[in-house]
């Protein structure tokens, strides 16, 4: 009995030793020389492998950053400035801080604002739907509400609100990786700067239709009247093809356009509920709702 | 104005659905079921009802309370597993045996893998093999219970023909003697045979079911034909080499659940290959393993094990046995 | 022996309700809305302006690229506007809107009923005439015909195959013209044979049209080079690649064109249009459209001018049926669902099909039970279940390419047959487009 045990242990021990020696030499022979900094950079990266940086994943990002002469053209949207600063430090370089961005859904064609005129059947995907026809509402530019953006989001930051039928971005979870921007077949989602105190003003519509057509299809569409562009003191608003666009690099968050917009297509988020002038009261109506939503989200986190 | 439906093409759909396919398999099983009820009476009914009911209940409970997914017990697939399991048990199995088997079949073999279509192994067979290993005595007790319709044949044989042969050979008897002593004529086994699981009393009833499945295009004939053909060829060769030790083709095909297994178990959609080529390889594999287990293994039967072993190769077969593509490839950049 | 293709296929109920309805000439309405995107490829550019007077058969749009075509007015009257209007999917397309005044045809069009049998033109002249007549493939894709009849120099056509299989359920437009105008179709075929310089042609017809086969066979007695081939009833018998396999046994290579195996396929409707263009100088501005569906009270076959709104056709067959839930332009397997019923008919419109919710509703999607029925049904020998799995996994374009997703002909057999009602084709279609895009952008080795 005891000899069996001893024999077993001896056999296995010798075998183990033999293999470890073999493995050692094999490892020596087939060793791949790799820049050790790649591992360091990779360990700094968030490891989401989202592809938001334009690389195939975090490992590829690390490899390319180390290879590249300058870190300047690289940016990890998930880790943001702190991560980039750390990587720069690890590589002995300097990096400029970039302004934080957030995904903004530029359509408010909710179920209430935009009537459905037909019923879509088939695989529930915006891509399938948009390749087939303009969508189940009268607006061919608006959100289809099938949630391709929700599917691709790796950070649980964008969700279709079943009551409203359009996606909503959780600005605290959003890393501005841009996956939803690419996924949206109607190009409704845009990466905009987070703004001062996370306050943002944007045109929540992409309709290039004539005013009358837009009005018929949607209650809160941009009709291209141009009033906002006239009232903007900073020249941040341009109107092209019956559609206004606010350049966030020029916008100073004065909110004059919000008051002016006849269809309430311009949205201001994260501003205090109380507005300075009583004259603007009618236009504040949709705002408390958004602010409430955004603030509850903040409390949750 | 009324809202139109807009959808991508095609705009029509065949009448077939998962439910109708499963229902067709249950219908195909009904001749065997009726024959077994005729011979085994209440015990057959009891097994089928307990099996089907338990399977459905287990699936319902798991989907509702464990997975919180949509409950899909309406598609008959769980009920089918229960019926198949019942048909694979000895006729006088106690009710709790099939209860345990059903829980294992649905709970472990099916739902663990993600439910319908996701399972790697045939649930009913996993249930059966689990019982065979856990309760060997009960699972090989083939004595016949009292029937409402027949009497006088009780306790005629207490083991399957295959088990009798195996025991006889082990005891040193020669094969022709054993066969003569037990009167295993092919004719008897084709129509009615005693000493077997609930579902394989009559080979004819099973073949009737097979024809129904073929006519309804539920299954394709390749798997059953490949299995039976392989068993036929292999046993013929062995039998010719040494008739004293190896049983012949007719005997092997008509006993030990070959027909039940090849028609109803091996053709289970989720656990069988998709392409004709894959199906033939799969069928041949089952045949070879069955014969090897029967001749050289320690179990008298081998169909269940053979199917389970080949189930494991299905993903591989699906990967390497591609259907014939239309048109050959051209490399012109 | 009846011929058929070897791989896959399904057998939907053919529902040829209008097979015995004689082609009726649809009255000219007071306004025509003629789309400039009548064909595959670049839309035509309108060459008329508001206020212009046009006659029937006058050119109103000229091609803007190699794969493009002329568009002719189907009515006479005054152009009231040239503007983007929604097509049947709702997307804006430039339309020429014409207020109808009388029915004045261009004088070069021969409107006599005589059949002209001599073909006094050369190959180039024929192709030029076909091009100027704006003829497109009437089998569904509306591919400009002159491009197909002008194969690359290094490839030689051996056969012409006329597609009279009409495998789509419900549709009977080709069936009717084969019954009523077989000789013109065959002269059209002879013209195209001359253009292609081939001396053998086949006409493939599915067995469910015995009268069409009989009438075509009778007419073909005068054309020793044209053979009528009876095909088995199996969808998609009329798919270009399937038809070539059925008739000649040749298989078009993956990513290849019919000309790679020496074949040019044209629809019988196209052949008739070619006859009219070459022998009668009549450009393509009208076609046979089947108006059908179990819920339609009066199922008809109409000879319809292009630019007629669908809603007006509906009025002619007894109005909107109460239980119609889906309008389809084309057949039920590959036709397009109409989102905008004010859209007008195109050259390629072969049918207007109305279906009830019960007939057409998609059932709830279940788990894939791996039954392999989609693989069995796929006429291209693909594995739709696997493609579906890879598509849903996301970003598996390399694997999809290896599984030859680009070979998919979008016939709909997989979705038709799937017992779990998985929207296989919906998913495969968009991913196929994506894979082809990636393959096109890839630098060539």
ipTM of the complex: 0.86
Q: Do C337 and B324 touch (CB under 8 A)?
A: no
Same domain for B93 and B171, yes or no, is no
Neighbour tally for C256: CB within 10 Å: 16
Instruction: Tell me the average pLDDT of chain C.
Output: 91
Q: Is B332 on the interface with A (CB under 8 A)?
A: no
pLDDT for position B125: 94
As its CATH architecture, domain C25-106+285-359 has: Roll (3.10)
Q: Is C393 on the interface with A (CB under 8 A)?
A: no
Taking CA–CA distances from C330, the nearest residue in chain B reads B9
Q: Is C29's pLDDT higher than 80?
A: yes
Higher pLDDT, B2 or B95: B95
Same domain for B178 and B231, yes or no, is yes
To the nearest whole angstrom, how far is the Cα of A237 from the nearest Cα of chain C? 27
Residues contacting residue A175 through CB under 8 Å, at least 6 positions apart: A48, A50, A52, A77, A78, A80, A155, A157
Q: Do A140 and C91 touch (CB under 8 A)?
A: yes
Q: Is B202's pLDDT higher than 60?
A: yes
Same domain for B98 and B50, yes or no, is yes
Chain B, chain C: beta-carbon pairs less than 8 Å apart = 162
Helix, strand, coil proportions of chain B in percent (round to 5)?
Answer: 65, 0, 35
Q: Is C2 on the interface with A (CB under 8 A)?
A: no
Q: Is A281's pLDDT higher than 70?
A: no
Q: Do C426 and A125 touch (CB under 8 A)?
A: yes
DSSP code per residue over B214-282? HHTTSS-THHHHHHHHHHHHHHHHHHHH-TTTS--HHHHHHSTTHHHIIIIITT-GGGS-SSHHHHHHH
Taking CA–CA distances from B4, the nearest residue in chain A reads A118
pLDDT for position C82: 94
Query: Tens digit of pLDDT for each residue in C96-152?
Result: 999 999 888 988 898 888 888 888 899 999 999 999 999 998 877 788 898 888 888
Tokens 């790679």 appear where?
Answer: C260
pLDDT for position B180: 66
Chains adjacent to A (≥3 CB pairs closer than 8 angstroms): B, C
Q: Is B115 on the interface with C (CB under 8 A)?
A: yes
Q: Is B71's pLDDT higher than 80?
A: yes
Q: Is B2 on the interface with A (CB under 8 A)?
A: no
- Measured CA to CA, the distance from residue B301 to residue B160 in angstroms comes to 9
Taking CA–CA distances from A127, the nearest residue in chain B reads B8
Query: Tens digit of pLDDT for each residue in A257-270?
Result: 998 899 989 998 88
Cα-Cα-Cα-Cα torsion C117, C118, C122, C126, nearest 10 degrees, comes to: -30
Same domain for B135 and B175, yes or no, is no
Residue B297 lies in a domain: yes
Residue B133 lies in a domain: yes
Residue B61 lies in a domain: yes
Residues contacting residue A267 through CB under 8 Å, at least 6 positions apart: A108, A201, A202, A203, A204, A258, A286, A287, A290
pLDDT band at B301 (very low <50, low <70, confident <90, very high): confident
Query: Tens digit of pLDDT for each residue in C381-438?
Result: 999 999 999 998 878 899 999 999 999 999 999 999 999 999 999 999 999 999 999 9
pLDDT band at B328 (very low <50, low <70, confident <90, very high): confident
Burial class (CB in 10 A: 0-12, 13-18, 19+), C91: middle
Q: Is C77's pLDDT higher than 90?
A: yes
The residue count of chain B comes to 333
Residues contacting residue C94 through CB under 8 Å, at least 6 positions apart: C35, C36, C37, C43, C46, C82, C83, C84
Contact C396, C390 (CB under 8 A): yes
Q: Do C421 and B7 touch (CB under 8 A)?
A: no
Same domain for B45 and B183, yes or no, is no
Residue B4 lies in a domain: no
Q: Is A118 on the interface with B (CB under 8 A)?
A: yes
Same domain for B292 and B169, yes or no, is yes
Same domain for B168 and B294, yes or no, is yes
Query: Same topology for domains C25-106+285-359 and C123-280, yes or no?
Result: no
Q: Which domain holds residue B217?
A: 161-320
Could you say which of B74, B104, B139 is where a domain stops? B139
Q: Is B333 on the interface with A (CB under 8 A)?
A: no
To the nearest whole angstrom, how far is the Cα of A165 from the nearest Cα of chain B? 18
- Measured CA to CA, the distance from residue C117 to residue C223 in angstroms comes to 11
Query: Tens digit of pLDDT for each residue in A62-109?
Result: 888 888 888 877 888 888 888 888 888 888 888 878 888 899 999 998
Could you say which of B82, B106, B139 is where a domain stops? B139
Same domain for B194 and B303, yes or no, is yes
Chains adjacent to C (≥3 CB pairs closer than 8 angstroms): A, B
Q: Is C310 on the interface with B (CB under 8 A)?
A: no
Q: Is B195's pLDDT higher than 70?
A: no
Taking CA–CA distances from A185, the nearest residue in chain C reads C430
pLDDT for position B220: 92
To the nearest whole angstrom, how far is the Cα of C367 from the nearest Cα of chain B? 6
Instruction: Tell me the average pLDDT of chain A.
Output: 84
Taking CA–CA distances from A115, the nearest residue in chain B reads B3
Q: Is B152's pLDDT higher than 60?
A: no
To the nearest whole angstrom, how far is the Cα of A32 from the nearest Cα of chain C? 27
Which of helix, strand or coil describes residue B96? helix
- Measured CA to CA, the distance from residue A63 to residue A71 in angstroms comes to 12
- Measured CA to CA, the distance from residue C309 to residue C98 in angstroms comes to 13
Domains and CATH numbers, chain A: 37-90 (1.10.15), 100-194 (3.30.70.20), 195-296 (3.30.70.20)
The residue count of chain A comes to 301
Q: Do C380 and B6 touch (CB under 8 A)?
A: no
Same domain for B248 and B310, yes or no, is yes
Query: Tens digit of pLDDT for each residue in A20-36?
Result: 999 999 988 888 777 88
Question: Residues of A with CB below 8 A from C427's CB?
Answer: 123, 125, 128
Longest distance between any two alpha carbons in chain A, whole Å:
99
Residue B29 lies in a domain: yes
Please determine, looking at this structure, whether the domain spanning C123-280 carries the CATH number 3.40.50.11540: yes
Could you tell me the end-to-end alpha-carbon distance of chain A, in angstroms, rounded to an integer?
64
Cα-Cα-Cα-Cα torsion A145, A146, A149, A151, nearest 10 degrees, comes to: 150
pLDDT band at A293 (very low <50, low <70, confident <90, very high): very low
Q: Is B181's pLDDT higher than 80?
A: no
Of residues B33, B275, A150, the one with CA closest to residue C386: B275
How is chain C split into domains, by residue range? 25-106+285-359, 123-280, 373-441
Higher pLDDT, A200 or A275: A200
Query: What is the mean predicted confidence (pLDDT) over A233-238?
Result: 90
Q: Is A293 on the interface with C (CB under 8 A)?
A: no
Q: Is A216 on the interface with B (CB under 8 A)?
A: no
Q: Is A297's pLDDT higher than 60?
A: no
Q: Is B69's pLDDT higher than 50?
A: yes
To the nearest whole angstrom, how far is the Cα of A53 from the nearest Cα of chain C? 16
Query: Tens digit of pLDDT for each residue in C224-281?
Result: 999 999 999 999 998 999 999 999 989 999 888 899 999 999 999 999 999 999 999 9
Contact C205, C212 (CB under 8 A): yes
Query: What is the mean predicted confidence (pLDDT) over A216-236?
Result: 90
Q: Is C318's pLDDT higher than 90?
A: no
- Measured CA to CA, the distance from residue B249 to residue B235 in angstroms comes to 5
pLDDT for position B292: 92
Chain A, chain C: beta-carbon pairs less than 8 Å apart = 40
Same domain for B177 and B291, yes or no, is yes
Give percent of chain A with pLDDT exceeding 90. Answer: 31
Q: Is C189's pLDDT higher than 80?
A: yes
Q: Is A285 on the interface with C (CB under 8 A)?
A: no
pLDDT for position C65: 84
DSSP code per residue over C340-388? -TT-B--TT--EEEEEEHHHHPPPPP-------HHHHH-TT---HHHHH
pLDDT for position B191: 55
Same domain for B201 and B135, yes or no, is no
Residues contacting residue B305 through CB under 8 Å, at least 6 positions apart: B129, B289, B293, B299
pLDDT band at A138 (very low <50, low <70, confident <90, very high): confident
Which of helix, strand or coil describes residue B14? coil
- The tally of domains found in chain B comes to 2
Query: Tens digit of pLDDT for each residue in B207-261?
Result: 999 999 999 999 999 999 999 999 999 999 998 998 888 888 888 888 778 889 9
Residue B304 lies in a domain: yes
Could you tell me the end-to-end alpha-carbon distance of chain C, in angstroms, rounded to an integer?
46
Same domain for B89 and B231, yes or no, is no
Q: Is A241's pLDDT higher than 80?
A: yes
Of residues C299, C210, C351, C213, the one with CA closest to residue C22: C299
To the nearest whole angstrom, how far is the Cα of C325 from the nearest Cα of chain B? 5
pLDDT for position B143: 65
Query: What is the mean predicted confidence (pLDDT) over A132-143?
Result: 90
Give which of B1, B8, B11, B12 to mutate to test A binding, by max A Cβ within 10 Å. B8
To the nearest whole angstrom, how far is the Cα of B19 from the nearest Cα of chain A? 21
Query: What is the mean predicted confidence (pLDDT) over B2-31?
Result: 91
Q: Do C366 and B329 touch (CB under 8 A)?
A: no
pTM listed for this prediction: 0.86
Chain A, chain B: beta-carbon pairs less than 8 Å apart = 26
Neighbour tally for C73: CB within 10 Å: 27
Chains adjacent to B (≥3 CB pairs closer than 8 angstroms): A, C
Residue B7 lies in a domain: no
Taking CA–CA distances from B73, the nearest residue in chain C reads C366
């Amino acid at each position: 009995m005891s000899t069996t045990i001893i024999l077993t242990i001896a056999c296995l021990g010798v075998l183990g030793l033999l293999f470890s020696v073999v493995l050692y030499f094999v490892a020596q022979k087939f060793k791949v020389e790799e820049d050790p900094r790649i591992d360091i950079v990779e360990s700094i990266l968030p490891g989401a492998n989202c592809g938001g940086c334009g690389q195939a994943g975090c490992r590829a990002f690390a490899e390319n950053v180390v290879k590249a002469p300058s870190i300047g053209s690289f940016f990890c949207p998930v880790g943001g400035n702190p991560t980039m600063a750390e990587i720069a430090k690890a590589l002995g370089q300097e990096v400029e801080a970039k302004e934080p961005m957030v995904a903004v859904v530029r359509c408010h064609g909710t179920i209430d604002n935009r009537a459905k005129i037909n019923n879509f059947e088939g695989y529930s995907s915006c891509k399938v739907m948009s390749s087939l026809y303009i969508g189940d509402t009268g607006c061919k530019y608006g959100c289809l509400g099938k949630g391709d953006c929700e599917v691709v989001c790796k950070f649980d930051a964008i969700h279709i609100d079943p009551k409203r039928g359009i996606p909503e971005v959780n600005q605290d979870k959003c890393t501005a990786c841009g996956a939803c921007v690419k996924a949206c077949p109607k190009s409704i989602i845009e990466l905009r700067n987070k703004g001062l105190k996370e306050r943002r003003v944007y045109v929540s519509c992409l309709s290039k239709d004539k005013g009358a057509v837009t009005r018929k299809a949607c209650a809160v569409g941009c009709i291209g009247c141009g009033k906002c562009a006239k009232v903007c003191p900073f020249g941040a608003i341009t109107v092209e093809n019956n559609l206004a666009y606010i350049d966030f690099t020029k916008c100073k968050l004065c909110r004059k356009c919000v008051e002016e917009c006849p269809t309430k297509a311009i949205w201001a988020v994260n501003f205090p509920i109380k507005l300075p002038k009583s004259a603007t009261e009618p236009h504040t109506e949709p705002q408390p709702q958004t602010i409430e939503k955004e603030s509850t989200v903040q409390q949750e986190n | 104005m009324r809202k139109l439906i807009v959808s991508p093409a095609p705009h029509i759909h065949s009448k077939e659905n998962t439910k109708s396919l499963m229902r067709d398999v249950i219908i195909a099983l009904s001749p065997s079921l009726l024959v077994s009820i005729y011979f085994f009476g209440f015990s057959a009914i009891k097994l089928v009802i307990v099996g089907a009911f338990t399977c459905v209940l287990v699936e319902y409970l798991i989907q509702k309370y464990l997975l919180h997914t949509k409950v899909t017990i309406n598609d008959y697939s769980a009920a089918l597993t229960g019926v198949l399991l019942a048909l694979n048990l000895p006729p006088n199995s106690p009710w709790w045996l099939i209860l345990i088997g059903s829980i294992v079949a649905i709970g472990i073999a099916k739902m663990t893998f993600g439910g319908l279509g996701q399972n790697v192994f045939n649930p009913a067979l996993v249930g059966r093999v689990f019982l065979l290993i856990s309760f060997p005595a009960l699972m090989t007790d083939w004595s016949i219970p009292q029937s409402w319709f027949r009497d006088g044949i009780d306790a005629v044989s207490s083991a399957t023909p295959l088990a009798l042969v195996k025991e006889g050979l082990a005891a040193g008897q020669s094969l022709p003697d054993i066969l003569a002593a037990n009167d295993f004529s092919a004719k008897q086994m084709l129509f009615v045979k005693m000493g077997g699981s609930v579902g394989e009393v009559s080979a004819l009833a099973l073949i009737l079911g097979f024809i129904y499945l073929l006519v309804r295009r539920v299954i394709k004939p390749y798997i059953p034909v490949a299995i039976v053909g392989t068993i036929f060829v292999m046993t013929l060769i062995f039998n010719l080499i040494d008739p004293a030790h190896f049983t012949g083709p007719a005997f092997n095909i008509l006993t030990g659940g070959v027909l039940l297994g090849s028609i109803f178990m091996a053709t289970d959609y989720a656990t069988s290959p998709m392409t004709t080529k894959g199906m033939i390889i799969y069928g041949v594999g089952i045949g070879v393993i069955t014969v090897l287990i029967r001749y050289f293994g320690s179990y008298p039967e081998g169909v269940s094990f053979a199917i389970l072993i080949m189930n494991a190769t299905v993903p591989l077969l699906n990967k390497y046995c591609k259907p014939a593509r239309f048109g050959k490839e051209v490399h012109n950049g | 022996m009846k011929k058929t293709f070897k791989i896959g296929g399904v057998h939907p109920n053919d529902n040829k309700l209008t097979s015995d309805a004689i082609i009726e000439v649809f009255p000219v309405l007071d306004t025509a809305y003629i789309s400039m995107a009548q064909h595959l490829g670049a839309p035509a550019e309108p060459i008329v302006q508001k206020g212009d007077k046009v006659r029937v058969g006058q050119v109103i749009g000229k091609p803007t690229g190699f794969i493009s075509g002329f568009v002719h007015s189907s009515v006479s009257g005054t152009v009231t506007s040239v503007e983007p209007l929604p097509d049947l999917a709702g997307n804006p397309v430039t339309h020429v809107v014409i207020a109808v005044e009388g029915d004045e045809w261009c004088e070069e069009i021969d409107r006599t009923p005589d059949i002209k049998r001599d073909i006094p033109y050369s190959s180039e002249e024929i192709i030029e005439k076909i091009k100027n007549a704006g003829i497109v493939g009437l089998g569904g894709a509306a591919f400009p015909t002159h491009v197909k009849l002008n194969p690359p120099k290094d490839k030689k056509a051996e056969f012409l195959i006329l597609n009279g299989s009409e495998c789509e359920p419900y549709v009977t437009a080709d069936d009717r013209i084969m019954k009523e105008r077989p000789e013109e179709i065959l002269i059209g075929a002879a013209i195209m044979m001359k253009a292609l310089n081939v001396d053998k042609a086949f006409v493939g017809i599915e067995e469910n049209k015995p009268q069409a086969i009989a009438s075509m066979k009778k007419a073909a007695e005068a054309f020793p080079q044209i053979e009528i081939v009876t095909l088995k009833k199996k969808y998609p018998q009329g798919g270009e690649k399937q038809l070539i396999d059925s008739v000649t046994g040749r298989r078009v290579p993956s990513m290849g064109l019919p000309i790679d195996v020496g074949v040019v396929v044209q629809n019988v409707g196209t052949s008739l249009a070619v006859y009219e263009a070459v022998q009668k100088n009549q450009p393509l501005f009208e076609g046979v459209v089947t108006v059908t569906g179990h819920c339609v009270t009066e199922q008809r076959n109409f000879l319809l001018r292009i630019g007629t709104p669908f809603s007006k056709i509906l009025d002619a067959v007894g109005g909107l049926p109460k239980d119609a839930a889906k309008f389809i332009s084309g057949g039920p397997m590959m036709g397009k669902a109409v989102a905008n019923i004010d859209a007008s008919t195109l050259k390629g419109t072969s049918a207007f099909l109305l279906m009830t919710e019960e007939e057409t509703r998609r059932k709830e999607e279940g788990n894939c039970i791996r039954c392999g029925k989609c693989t069995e049904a796929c006429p291209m020998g693909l594995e739709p279940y696997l493609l579906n799995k890879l598509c849903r996994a996301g970003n598996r374009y390399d694997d999809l390419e290896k599984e030859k997703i680009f070979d998919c002909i979008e016939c709909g057999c997989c979705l038709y047959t799937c017992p779990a009602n998985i929207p296989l084709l919906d998913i495969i279609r968009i991913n196929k487009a994506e894979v082809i895009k990636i393959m096109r952008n890839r630098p060539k080795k």
